[in-house]
Amino acid sequence: MELKGSSNLSTLASSNDHGENSLYFEGWKAYDNDPFHPSRNPKGVIQMGLAENQLSFELIEDWIKKNPQASICTPEGVQAFKDIANFQDYHGLPQFRNAVAKFMGRVRGGRASFDPERIVMAGGATGASELLMFCLADRGDGFLVPSPCYPAFDRDLRWRTGVQLLHVECKSGNNFQLTKQSLEDAYENARKANIKVKGLIIANPSNPLGTTMDKATFKMLVKFINDKKIHLVCDEIYSATVFRGPRLVSVSEIIEEIECDRDLIHIVYSLSKDMGLPGFRVGIVYSYNDKVVSCARKMSSFGLISSQTQYFLASMLSDEEFVGKYLSESAMKLANQHDLFTRGLEEVGIKCLESNAGLYVWMDLRPLLKEATFEGEMDLWRVIIGDVKLNVSPGSSFHCHEPGWFRVCFANMDINTMRIALGRIRKFVVQESDQVLQVKKQKRTSKRSHGLTLSFSSQMYDETCSSPRMLSPHTPLPQSPLLRART
């Protein structure tokens, strides 16, 4: 689609292929137009579509207060100002690369080590992902991507590089686990379409599922790419968000256990999720391929991390006591927040895919669909955005092949905001109870499908009408229709 006023511009500038028209970003726009605030705008949209880790900022803030010399903009650190302000080597500060390599190893439980000489900087995970695509593929080449997958892969991996993303269907019947047969089918379909498959891209932990890949599946993947002689790109930006078992298994650990061509193995990493620092734009490419490292380092000059940021993070990540405390307390807080939210959903009969990592849950709202189609999913999403005033992301924006799944983020808000969100969800479900029972009665009478459908009203689900007790995530509810439907 060509944009207005683009006749004298490049093909890229004239196109509308960035992906910002995705429903994933439409929800953000709804929030931006009417953002929730507990006092200034208590009826506004609560942002549950943004995967940010805001639960452990006080740990970093405390460290900064105790270590003012880590910043060149303080009296204690200003003596390093001239050297750092003039540093522009695209290899990066040696102390920064050393600290990142050590941190990556610690996050993975010390079961793998990383060479600082293979650390390549980029502007966030977005820049790192695109940089890697430029190194591995030409325009028109394809990459297999298990779906559901991160919506902005369309932007990060495809928009400027021209590569094709070939979605590998994963199904709820086996909890969306990737299978060898689905990989083989997708690869064969690409071959029949005359698409040159250059690699497989996976996110581990998964976004949006919040799950980690088991060792047996990982070994199958490595064998698959090795047999096909295609690349394996592992997006591991949520590595430190694992809050309970099973533990994270990294590709760097797998390749120590089985034989494979290491030139085909590449990792994308970032501090945006693990440390909650997306504004610092710290992206890392770690490749076992010497030529990729060389090319990526040359290309990184188009998106470097500022030397001031490198200097600060080198100091913080080198503090082993702080890193240990941060990783353990962050995992504990994520687990508590996750459990608080999922228990609140369960009280009204809403289930989520069982998960152990990430800053979100994969919420199953299939019983709330008026019809089991993506149109039905859109109808439900519009009610949740417009009336319930929650920005959640529909599964279709994640290329999910089954309607009714939604990603909901829980780590970008405090407990009180989460309780308000749960209160809105509960009121929404409870206020529809009479209609739900009537629909079920009619469906039994007509002997149609036993699935649950709802008729939605357009009223605003305002948590301010509930008592403070109703906002507690542990408050018993009077016979939620979803609970009755499942008993």
Q: Which residues are catalytic?
A: 150, 235, 237, 273
Instruction: Compute the C-alpha angle 358/360/362, nearest 5°.
Output: 110
CB–CB of 298/56 below 8 Å?
A: no
Encoded amino acid at 437, one letter: L
Residues belonging to the chain: 487
State yes or no: cis peptide before 35, omega within 30 of 0: no
Helix, strand, or coil (residue 159): helix
Cα-Cα-Cα-Cα torsion 243, 249, 252, 256, nearest 10 degrees, comes to 140
What would you report as the CA-atom Rg of the chain, rounded to the nearest whole angstrom? 24
Residue 266 region by backbone torsions, left for phi larger than 0, else alpha for psi between -120 and 50, else beta: beta
Q: Which residues pair with 360 in a beta bridge?
A: 409
SS3 at position 167? strand
Six-digit token string for 364: 């199953």
Partner residues linked to 432 by β-bridges: none
Longest dimension (CA), the chain: 81
Question: 3-class DSSP state for residue 8?
Answer: coil
